Amino acid sequence: MPGISNINRTNFAKAFNRGYVYGRASASNVSSADAKWYEAALIKFKECQGETFNNLVTAVGTAGVAPIFIIHNPLAKEDKQTKEYTAARQPISAIITLGAQVPIMDAYNKALEYAATRYHFDKCDLSAAPPQSYLKNGIKHLYKDYIYQCAINGIEPEKKKAKMKEFYYQLKDEAFYRELKNLRESARNGNVPEYLAKSMTADGHIKIEDMISPKDLKDAERQLLEHYFKEVFGLDVADLGLGEKKKVDSLDALKKKAVKQAFKEKNIDIDKNLIKTIKTFVNENVDEVARMNVEEHLRRQAKVKVYSSNLYRKAKEELAEYQRKLIVEKVPNNEFQRLMKIKNDELFEGLRKHAEQLRETAPKSVPEGSLILDAAEADTLYNKINTKLTMGSADDKLIRHLRTSEGSTFDELLKSVQIKKWLTTRINKSEKYLSDFKQKSGLVVGLAILPFTCGLLNWAYPRIMEEWFPNLAHAKSASSEKKEAK
């Protein structure tokens, strides 16, 4: 069995640079400027994704399309009026579904999202990542303020949907950083809330199993697969030439035809026995690899934070020193503001240059336990500072806003990064759990409403037909009466 201690884990360096806000912002920033009209329409459909859209399409199909194919069906032997009578049931069914089932399911899903956000359940806690329905009022208020500001300043407001989405992300981030800040402070003060205390060990660190997200397990699975093929067959899976869409990144990928074909070209037959062997190997080691990856990731983050917080502290002291100098020289206020801004930008640029130099001179690897940054960690530090300069808001570029209060020792900062990792894992798991719970309990609720909607349809259908289409409802008796009259 190939050993796992020498697995290549340098890919994790790339993961460091995706902050919570910016990562999501870049993913949502889909520019359709260079897309054709039909491509833009498809992007719009993706944005409309949801239960309401599904129900609307279903209703259009039920009410508008199905009746045509019931009435004008050459294969059916019933008389035309019977077919018309039956076909009329479809639009009535669609209206009842839209009018009854949709609001009930909507209200049920909103209730679930509210409960998941408001109460800190162990399995589902979205207090740090509230869903859109929970933030609805906040988004509305922000948008109203935005429209008011645009009106005052004579600016053309941006498109409503895009702006509302932006406000949703803004509020979601604020909730995340607020919860993170509260948890970090409570950990420093020693009075952590119960839901965090459940995951803490006696020495104030967080249990590793509560910091392993489903994504970490998937990454571990991918690494183990790459390691297996390298050790047993001497093959680098990147050389298979499969491209982005058919990567060998999971056990399921091995079952795909294209992947099996690519392996066959390298004289490796992916049969059932081989898949079973690989599966056993992966299942035995995935938890341990995921744990090692997460521990190393956090240790590296804490090392970077130790270095960065020292760097920031020095910059803050230098800025404070400069400020004292300006006060002593009794510089006028507007000149004071201008000079402080120049000094701030200068210091920030200095931080970036320092990080760039460090990145160029950092060693590839350092002894274990050393606080010297290696090449990957120096790269992370550089990206952290550079991102604030290039993508951050005006507030992010202020020296005084750089965080230094989380601690200065390795142990303190390790606990601080552990809390963030615990929170993001908790959110990740909760979102997946809520999605699964909604789907399964939604089925039960849908079936429970069924007697109501079915009863309503069976009550309304014949009465509507009698009231509005009596000729269809009593076609046979009408025709027989006519015959008798003759």
Partner 1 sequence: MNVTKIGNRFLNSRFMNAVCSERAGDAAATIALLSTTTKDLVNCAYYTTQSLHNKKIPEEKRKFVAGIDLSNGILNVLSQLTIGMYIKNKTPVAFDYLFRNSKMSKNAYNAAKGGFSLIVTLVVAQVLLKRILTPFISTPMAHYFKEYADKKDAATKKTNNEQDKNTKTAKDDKTEKTKETEKTKQTIATEKTETQQNSKVSINSMNTNLSSPFKSFEGLLKVK
Name 188's bridge partners: none
Q: Which stretch binds partner 1 (CB under 8 A): 52-60, 140-148, 325-333, 372-380?
A: 52-60
**Interaction mask 7-26, partner 1, x per CB under 8 A:** -------------------x
CB atoms within 10 A of CB 259: 19
CB of 54 to partner 1, least distance (A): 6
Q: Taking the alpha carbons of 305, 309, 310, 312 in that order, is the dihedral positive or negative?
A: positive
Residue 92 in the binding site for partner 1 (CB under 8 A): no
Q: Which of 429, 414, 396, 406 is nearest to 19 (CA)?
A: 396
Residue 82 in the binding site for partner 1 (CB under 8 A): yes
Q: Which is nearer to partner 1, 78 or 185 (CB)?
A: 78
Q: Which of 413, 396, 391 is nearest to 310 (CA)?
A: 413
Q: Which is nearer to partner 1, 360 or 481 (CB)?
A: 481
Rounded Cα–Cα distance for residues 181 and 184 (Å) = 5
Of positions 12, 22, 108, 121, contacts partner 1 by CB under 8 A? 121
Those residues whose C-beta lies under 8 Å from the C-beta of residue 32, and which sit 6 or more positions away, are 39, 40, 43
Q: Which is nearer to partner 1, 253 or 399 (CB)?
A: 253
User: What tokens does 416 get?
Assistant: 């601080």
Residue 336 in the binding site for partner 1 (CB under 8 A): no
Residue 49 in the binding site for partner 1 (CB under 8 A): yes
Residue 481 in the binding site for partner 1 (CB under 8 A): no
Residues 189-208 within binding reach of partner 1 (CB under 8 A)? 195
CB of 69 to partner 1, least distance (A): 5
Residue 215 in the binding site for partner 1 (CB under 8 A): no
Of positions 332, 367, 369, 451, contacts partner 1 by CB under 8 A? 451
Of positions 17, 133, 446, 478, contacts partner 1 by CB under 8 A? 446
Residue 45 in the binding site for partner 1 (CB under 8 A): yes
Task: Please answer whether residues 208 and 295 qualify as being in contact, where contact means their C-beta atoms are separated by less than 8 angstroms.
Answer: yes
Dihedral angle over CA of 249, 254, 258, 261, nearest 10? 120
**Interaction mask 418-437, partner 1, x per CB under 8 A:** ----------xxx-xx-xxx
Task: Please answer whether residues 416 and 305 qualify as being in contact, where contact means their C-beta atoms are separated by less than 8 angstroms.
Answer: yes
Residue 133 in the binding site for partner 1 (CB under 8 A): no
Name 200's bridge partners: 206
Residue 450 in the binding site for partner 1 (CB under 8 A): yes
Residue 440 in the binding site for partner 1 (CB under 8 A): yes
Name 206's bridge partners: 200
Q: Each residue of 343-358: b (16+ CB within 10 Å) or e?
A: bbeebbeebbebbeeb
Task: Please answer whether residues 113 and 120 qualify as being in contact, where contact means their C-beta atoms are separated by less than 8 angstroms.
Answer: no
Residue 169 in the binding site for partner 1 (CB under 8 A): no
Residue 46 in the binding site for partner 1 (CB under 8 A): yes
Q: Which stretch binds partner 1 (CB under 8 A): 161-169, 269-277, 416-424, 446-454?
A: 446-454
Residues 234-273 within binding reach of partner 1 (CB under 8 A)? 245
Residue 120 in the binding site for partner 1 (CB under 8 A): yes
Residue 6 in the binding site for partner 1 (CB under 8 A): no
Of positions 10, 11, 14, 44, contacts partner 1 by CB under 8 A? 44
Residue 468 in the binding site for partner 1 (CB under 8 A): no
Task: Please answer whether residues 46 and 57 qualify as being in contact, where contact means their C-beta atoms are separated by less than 8 angstroms.
Answer: no
Rounded Cα–Cα distance for residues 226 and 222 (Å) = 6
Rounded Cα–Cα distance for residues 4 and 259 (Å) = 24
464 class by beta-carbon count within 10 Å (0-12 exposed, 13-18 middle, 19+ buried): middle
Rounded Cα–Cα distance for residues 9 and 18 (Å) = 17
Q: Which is nearer to partner 1, 44 or 341 (CB)?
A: 44
CB of 55 to partner 1, least distance (A): 10
Total binding residues for partner 1 by CB under 8 A?
78
User: What tokens does 89 get?
Assistant: 């049931």
Q: Which is nearer to partner 1, 400 or 429 (CB)?
A: 429
CB of 33 to partner 1, least distance (A): 9
Those residues whose C-beta lies under 8 Å from the C-beta of residue 183, and which sit 6 or more positions away, are 192, 193, 196, 419, 423
- Helix ranges, 154-271 (H): 160-189, 194-197, 214-233, 257-265
Rounded Cα–Cα distance for residues 302 and 415 (Å) = 8
CB of 72 to partner 1, least distance (A): 10
CB of 123 to partner 1, least distance (A): 5
Residue 115 in the binding site for partner 1 (CB under 8 A): yes
Q: Which stretch binds partner 1 (CB under 8 A): 3-11, 158-166, 398-406, 458-466?
A: 458-466
Residues 356-415 within binding reach of partner 1 (CB under 8 A)? none
Residue 462 in the binding site for partner 1 (CB under 8 A): yes
